[in-house]
Structure 1
Amino acid sequence: MYETIKYEIRKSVAWITLNRPEKLNAFTEQVNREVQQSIKKANKDPEVRCLVITGEGRAFCSGQDLDGVLEDMNHGEVLRKHYNPMVLELYKCEKPVIAAVNGVAAGAGMSLALACDFRLLSEKASFIEAFIHVGLVPDAGNLYYLPKLIGYAKALELAVLGDKISAHDAENLGLATKVIPLERWTEEVALFAERLASMPTVAIGLIKKNLKSSWNLTLEESLEKDAQAQRIAGLTSDHIEGVKSFMEKRKPVFLGK
């Protein structure tokens, strides 16, 4: 079904792997489209309760494939047609999304990782705001997410200077959920994803939705969002199971419903 990515479901986790290792998994129009389609597919699939986006080979994603950049290219239209729909599909996803950053994440590859809910980094991974090095502006949601994660001043520094950020520096900045040693990479990413997949999926989706809306709401509006979300969560079987397991002093078994 896909030519530039791999898509598989294991233990309720959808694994989306960018699969152009010879090009460091650089973006093309087709990659953008297939990533968008796979996120939409996973979000709609009741079997899927968590998504992992990663890269084949030694890179996560090196950004736009420069072989496809032409002198007369309308960069704005490329974003509107190819990148923005991908980023918006990720934004709309109600399930937890992990960026498993196995190597370099540069340019729009960094943007992709920033748009995910969690960022697990291999100790050999790195981030690079590469746009400035070719006279461009960080795009694909980069400047939307970055200051929210690390603050305006640091976001400006990274975007303007374009220095390489090591995995441990990313962790110190708050860009990484966790840095994982190479010898435990595959095992720990899977364990983290499976942990999320075993949690109350509806509640996670509501948490994501309310966090995203909180930036533009008054306290009163946010409190009302809390009440609306809690009403929905309170009607789920996972809430009933959570209360029941607490009373029975056992570990809950959530079904994501």
Structure 2
Amino acid sequence: MENKTVVVTKADGVGLIKLNRPQVYNAFNNQMSTELLAALQEVNADPGVRCVVLTGEGKAFCSGQDLNDRSAMQKKGEHFSLGDSVRSRYNPIIMAIAKMEKPVIAAVNGVAAGAGCSLALACDMRFITPKTRFVEAFVRIGLAPDSGSSYFLPRLVGLGRALEIAMTGRDVGAEEAVQIGLANRMVEEEQLLEETLSFAKRLSQGPTVAISLTKQAVIRGMESSLEEALEFEAHVQEAAGKTQDFVEGVQAFAEKRQPRFQGK
């Protein structure tokens, strides 16, 4: 456990992925990016996991790239390509979250900066505490956003506000994050993980095929024409209508009881 930069636990249909470099505020190094991608692939492939929660150990969610690694390489005169690093290390992580056929909820337990902010934005929902801060910190060191921030941020908060946040690199505090749509809900710090896991458990007990299809339809709808969105809705509704959960949902309605969904 001491050498693991990402720890995975599973219970009650929920896979909990915890970034585990608290001494550097869960900053990314090569090992953590590799282990996080493997963790995401593991929970996605596990049929017993029906919802995923991503959080950080200690006081931070994720502070982005570990700049100590970059500084050491610069001092040694070693050449590295930031573009190659983004393509090989970060982009697969973001795509794994976006394409996961299960809800992914970020329990943002502190600062989410740089690639850590992008990581949180890539999740389907974000639960935060009063101490949470979102920071598009790239511009602070002369860089542009990466790891999906240019895609997710304007979709969450609108174009003008996204440009202002990204161009200034300022902190977005918890109350503002909720107000502008960066976060779904704010809970007290000591209750964050419990509340997020409780919510995730409720989702995991739902009709998870329909929830997966909902995720696909909503994301696709943001990129589609109305005609395309309507046709894709018909497609996913056809798929949902063939599930056992649909049969159970209709039967439970007729019998005036709570449905017992199996995710099938």
Q: Is the 8 Å Cα contact of residues 107 and 193 (structure 2) preserved in structure 1?
A: no
Is 2:76 aligned against 1:68?
Answer: no
Distance in 1 (alpha carbons) for counterparts of 2:123 and 2:211: 14
Which piece of structure 1 moves more, 212-221 or 17-26? 212-221
Residue-by-residue CA offset, 1:186-224 (whole Å, 9 max, x unaligned)? 321121111111111111111111122223322222111
Is 2:100 aligned against 1:93?
Answer: yes
Tell me which residue corresponds to 1:182: 189
Is 2:131 aligned against 1:130?
Answer: no
Is 2:60 aligned against 1:59?
Answer: yes
Tell me which residue corresponds to 1:29: 30
Where in structure 1 are there 5+ consecutive unaligned residues? none
Residue-by-residue CA offset, 1:34-92 (whole Å, 9 max, x unaligned)? 11111111111110000000000000000000011133421101001101111111111
TM-score scaled by structure 2? Answer: 0.94
Give matches, 1:138-153, under 5 Å.
Answer: 138-153=145-160
Distance in 1 (alpha carbons) for counterparts of 2:62 and 2:227: 41
Structure 1 residue 138, shift from structure 2 partner = 0.9
* Letter of the structure 2 residue corresponding to residue 44 of structure 1: A
Match among 211, 219, 232 for residue 218 of structure 2: 211
Distance in 1 (alpha carbons) for counterparts of 2:259 and 2:132: 35
* Letter of the structure 2 residue corresponding to residue 96 of structure 1: P
3-state DSSP class of the match of 1:127?
strand
Is 2:133 aligned against 1:121?
Answer: no
Which piece of structure 1 moves more, 166-175 or 216-225? 216-225
Structure 1 runs of 4+ off > 3 angstroms? none
The count of corresponding residues between Structure 1 and Structure 2 is 257
3-state DSSP class of the match of 1:9?
strand
3-state DSSP class of the match of 1:61?
coil
Distance in 2 (alpha carbons) for counterparts of 1:232 and 1:128: 39
Give matches, 1:147-186, under 5 Å.
Answer: 147-186=154-193
* Letter of the structure 2 residue corresponding to residue 43 of structure 1: N
Where in structure 2 are there 5+ consecutive unaligned residues? none
Tell me which residue corresponds to 1:41: 42
Distance in 1 (alpha carbons) for counterparts of 2:182 and 2:116: 14
CA RMSD, Structure 1 to Structure 2 (Å): 1.3
* Letter of the structure 1 residue corresponding to residue 192 of structure 2: W
Structure 1 residue 99, shift from structure 2 partner = 0.4
Match among 223, 231, 245 for residue 224 of structure 1: 231
Distance in 2 (alpha carbons) for counterparts of 1:242 and 1:84: 38
Residue-by-residue CA offset, 1:234-255 (whole Å, 9 max, x unaligned)? 0111111111111111111111
Identify if the C-alpha distance between structure 1 residues 67 and 183 changes in structure 2 by more than 3 Å, giving closer, same or farther: closer
Distance in 1 (alpha carbons) for counterparts of 2:153 and 2:54: 18
Report sequence identity in percent: 48
Distance in 1 (alpha carbons) for counterparts of 2:182 and 2:261: 29
TM-score scaled by structure 1? Answer: 0.97
Residue-by-residue CA offset, 1:105-141 (whole Å, 9 max, x unaligned)? 0110000000000100022111111111000011000
Structure 1 residue 182, shift from structure 2 partner = 2.0
Distance in 2 (alpha carbons) for counterparts of 1:111 and 1:92: 15
Q: Is the 8 Å Cα contact of residues 5 and 32 (structure 2) preserved in structure 1?
A: yes
Which piece of structure 1 moves more, 5-14 or 206-215? 206-215
Distance in 1 (alpha carbons) for counterparts of 2:123 and 2:22: 21
Distance in 1 (alpha carbons) for counterparts of 2:225 and 2:241: 24
